[in-house]
Structure 1
Amino acid sequence: MSITQQYLLDTYRARQHDEPAPPAPGTHDWQVVREWRDERQFRAVLAGRPARRRKRIRHALGRWLPSRRRATG
């Protein structure tokens, strides 16, 4: 059974029992990612390591995307 089929079944059952419908799949994905990142940074601080923030992502994107300084100069 796919996620969509399970969601439709849960929605149908909720209607039958006059309950609120469940959230659609993927509704809270970004919130989960942010909470996971915060937890990882918190554990790094407890372990005595620096809590890095998005430097790796910016570095990787900087290699792929042209810099504005290079484009204008």
Structure 2
Amino acid sequence: MSITQQYLLDTYRARRLGEASPPPPGTHDWRTARELRGYRQFRAVVAERPAHGRLRRLLGRLLHPHPRRSAC
């Protein structure tokens, strides 16, 4: 069953029971993404890692690698 079919079934059931209909699919996607980002930042702080800029630093290292110095 697809998300749309499930939504239509839930809406039909709610209407028959006189309840409020559920929100349409995708209504809270951005809020969920923000909450997930905040949770990941919180977990980084608890694990004593930098909470911001980790992805940007990783991409910077991959795109602009520094030549390794020899330890002679």
The TM tier, using the shorter chain, reads 0.7 to 0.9
Q: Radius of gyration: which is bigger?
A: 2
What residue number does 1:2 align with? 2
2: distance between equivalents of 1:29 and 1:44? 23
- Equivalent residue letter for 1:51: A
Work out the number of aligned pairs and report it. Answer: 58
Counterpart position of 1:51: 51
Residue equivalent to 1:13: 13
Name the Cα RMSD after superposition: 1.9
TM-score between both structures, scaled by the size of structure 2: 0.73
What SS does the aligned partner of 1:25 have?
coil
- After the TM superposition, list the runs of 4 or more consecutive aligned residues in structure 1 that deviate by more than 3 angstroms: none
Specify which structure has the higher proportion of helix. 1
Paired position in structure 1 for 2:33: 33
Give percent identity, aligned residues only.
67
Query: Residues 54 and 19 of structure 1: is their aligned pair in 2 closer, same or farther, counting only changes over 3 Å?
Result: farther
- Residue 40 of structure 1 and its aligned partner are, at CA, apart by 0.3
* Structure 1 unaligned spans of 5+: 61-73
